[in-house]
Amino acid sequence: MPDFARFLALVSISFVVLLPVTNAQGLDEADKPPATADNPMTLERVDELVRRIDNDAIRNGSSWQIKYRNMPIFVVADDDADRIRIMSPVTNAATLSEDHLVRLMQANFESALDARYAIAQGAVWSAYIHPLSVLDEREFFSGMGQTVSLVVTYGTTFSSGALAFTGGDYFDDDEKPADPDVFGDIMEKGEQI
């Protein structure tokens, strides 16, 4: 585990160092109407939503580093590309066997739903990617909950915490997650005002 902790620290530093730092203190929630099709999601609104999960989140321009149950979560948004990405490192990609890689792909088809397992920068990631402008609060928290759930259930049910598609190669109807309901917890935190 110390090797993974060192690996995680290096990956976290690479995200934080690459982006400019801005100060997001003092946002007034009363001045921010809820996101709708007529009122697209903004970086300021994303900041509000992020702080419902972690009031001490670090904002660097259009990215945030969050801690949830000591788990690092990165939120990266791009107004120009109209995309938002919520992601969390899972494990070192070099440790994956071929069978494990196949299982991740099966999970992407069956049980990962809107979040996915991915490989980048030498790591296996859990990632949720969505158009930014049309993202609403519920989708944001659902995406974050699914992302975190994929990290927590890695190696067991490989589940985003929501539904499972039964048409794939692996689905086991008797398989019950033994992991905490992080999806439900994040959805609850997001709904708190």
pLDDT in tens, 70-80: 999 999 999 99
Beta strand pairing call for 123-131 and 115-120: antiparallel
What is the pTM assigned to this prediction?
0.73
Mind listing the pLDDT tens digit for each residue in 75-105? 999 999 999 999 999 999 999 999 999 999 9
Mind listing the pLDDT tens digit for each residue in 113-152? 899 999 999 999 999 999 999 999 999 999 999 999 999 9
Mind listing the pLDDT tens digit for each residue in 143-172? 999 999 999 999 988 988 765 545 545 545
Share of the chain above pLDDT 70, in %: 65
The chain-wide mean pLDDT, for the chain, equals 79
Residue with tokens 């589940």: 159
What are the sequence ranges of the domains in the chain?
2-191
Mind listing the pLDDT tens digit for each residue in 34-56? 555 578 999 999 999 999 999 99
Fold of 2-191: Yope Regulator; Chain: A, (3.30.1460)
